[in-house]
Structure 1
Amino acid sequence: MKGNSAVVHAYILIQTEVGKAAAVAAEIAGIPGVTTSEDVTGPYDVIVRAEANNVDELGQLVVARVQNVEGITRTLTCPVVHL
Structure 2
Amino acid sequence: MSVQAYILVQTEVGKAADVTGAISALPGVTLAEDVTGPYDVIVRVEGTSMDELGALVVSQIQTVDGITRTLTCPIVRI
TM-score range, shorter chain: over 0.9
TM-score, normalising length: structure 1: 0.93
Q: Which residue is 2:24 aligned to?
A: 29
Cα-Cα RMSD: 0.4
> Matches of 1:18 and 1:46 in 2, distance apart?
12
Q: Which residue is 1:70 aligned to?
A: 65
SS for the counterpart of 1:77 is strand
1:39 offset after TM fit, Å? 0.7
Q: Which residue is 1:45 aligned to?
A: 40
Gaps of 5+ in 2: none
Moved over 2 A (4+): none
Larger radius of gyration: 1
Q: Percent of counterpart pairs with the same letter?
A: 65
> Matches of 1:39 and 1:68 in 2, distance apart?
18
Gaps of 5+ in 1: 1-5
> Matches of 1:26 and 1:55 in 2, distance apart?
24
Instruction: Name the count of aligned residue pairs.
Output: 78
